[in-house]
């Protein structure tokens, strides 16, 4: 079960290849089976690598099981995070986020922003002998997201400050809750406060602009939509923005990295993918950007993404607590 308090946390979160489950789980599964006891993040836990049991847990979310993340994540995310909220608050926040996703994915400016930024980044690699793709794709995904969420342009220096704070913010999720200067936990708490202050400042500034404009018409973005939502308080509005960044930033960057990794090992599939893209591009005029209908035609592209998610690993673990004594296959 590991050391007192620390337990097996360090071994559990030790970095490993995204196309494997890591040495810790491989060794424990080999020794104890797919379900075993451990001490992680300062508390005792049952670790399940069993697909059938995991499906049972997820299917009974809210009935037999509830979300229960470590103390460090509670302190860093805040009580209004979708990951931690329950009941009516969870439903309210979830509906706002789903509305944003459904609205954004088909908006021309979202698609054009992603395409233009992709082209710009690819051009910047022209004279590079080596490219650290995962680092570059993190910058890309965050740039697209802060543009859509907060209207921060890719060339705005604020984008890099947000990226720096967000990386510190995320590192704290796998840290022990030790409130000492320089620890991942403390740095994440500070980064979250800076991010929250930045978003709150933008919300307040946007509200002042609305008052000064005297009902003048301008294009509404996501920040406008949550500002106008009277069911949300300021803390909930800030938390929604950070949750969307959290949900899309690391997962999207890792997925894109996995796609590139697997395609490099499969030249035939890469050729087929290029053919699909070339066929769509051939039907577009010079300088004409892609639209949502073009993306819907990329059937093989979606298959590649789905297969990368199946073969890779973008989320190491989810935390659940049993609300009742459970018997499963016993």
pLDDT tens digits, 85-139: 777 777 777 787 777 777 766 677 788 888 889 999 999 998 888 999 998 998 8
**What is the model's pLDDT at position 166?**
85
**What is the model's pLDDT at position 1?**
60
CATH class of 87-311: mainly alpha
**What is the model's pLDDT at position 108?**
73
CA-based nearest residue to 147, from 181, 115, 186: 115
**What is the model's pLDDT at position 95?**
81
- State the Cα–Cα distance between residues 142 and 132, nearest whole angstrom: 16
**What is the model's pLDDT at position 113?**
85
**What is the model's pLDDT at position 326?**
87
- Local structure of 57: helix, strand or coil: helix
Helices in the chain by DSSP H: which ranges?
Answer: 9-12, 23-32, 51-59, 71-77, 87-104, 108-124, 133-150, 158-171, 184-213, 222-227, 234-264, 267-282, 292-296, 299-311
Identify the segments of the chain with pLDDT beneath 70: 1-5, 104-106, 213-220, 330
- State the Cα–Cα distance between residues 80 and 82, nearest whole angstrom: 6
pLDDT tens digits, 227-265: 888 888 888 889 888 888 887 788 888 999 999 999 999
Look up residue 96 and give its two tokens.
Answer: 């706002």
**What is the model's pLDDT at position 4?**
62
**What is the model's pLDDT at position 236?**
86
């Amino acid at each position: 079960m590991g050391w007192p308090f620390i337990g097996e946390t360090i071994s559990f979160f030790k970095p490993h290849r995204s196309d494997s489950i890591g040495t810790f789980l491989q060794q424990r599964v080999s020794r104890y089976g797919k379900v075993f006891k451990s001490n992680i993040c300062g508390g005792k836990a049952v670790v399940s690598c069993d697909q059938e049991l995991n499906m049972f847990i997820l299917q009974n979310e809210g009935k037999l099981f509830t979300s229960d993340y470590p103390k460090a994540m509670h302190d860093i995310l805040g009580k209004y995070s979708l990951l931690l909220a329950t009941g009516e608050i969870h439903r309210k926040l979830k509906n706002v986020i789903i509305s944003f996703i459904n609205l954004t994915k088909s908006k021309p400016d979202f698609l054009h922003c992603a395409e233009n930024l992709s082209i710009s980044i690819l051009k910047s690699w022209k004279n590079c002998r080596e490219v650290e793709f995962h680092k570059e794709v993190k910058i890309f995904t965050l740039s697209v997201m802060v543009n859509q969420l907060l209207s921060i342009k890719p060339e705005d220096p604020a984008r890099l400050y947000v990226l720096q704070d967000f990386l510190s913010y995320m590192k704290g999720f796998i840290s022990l809750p030790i409130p000492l200067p320089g620890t991942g936990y403390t740095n994440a708490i500070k980064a979250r406060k800076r991010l929250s202050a930045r978003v709150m400042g933008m919300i307040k500034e946007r509200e002042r602009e609305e008052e000064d404009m005297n009902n003048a018409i301008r294009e509404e973005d996501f920040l406008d939509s949550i500002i106008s939502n009277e069911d949300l308080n300021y803390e909930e509005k800030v938390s929604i923005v950070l949750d969307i960044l959290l949900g899309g930033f690391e997962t999207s960057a890792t997925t894109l990295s996995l796609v590139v990794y697997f395609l490099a090992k499969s030249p035939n599939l890469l050729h087929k993918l290029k053919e699909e893209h070339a066929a769509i591009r051939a039907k577009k005029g010079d300088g004409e950007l892609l639209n949502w209908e073009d993306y819907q035609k990329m059937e093989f592209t979606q298959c590649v993404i789905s297969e990368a998610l199946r073969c890779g690993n973008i989320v190491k673990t989810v935390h659940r607590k049993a609300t009742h004594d459970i018997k499963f296959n016993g």
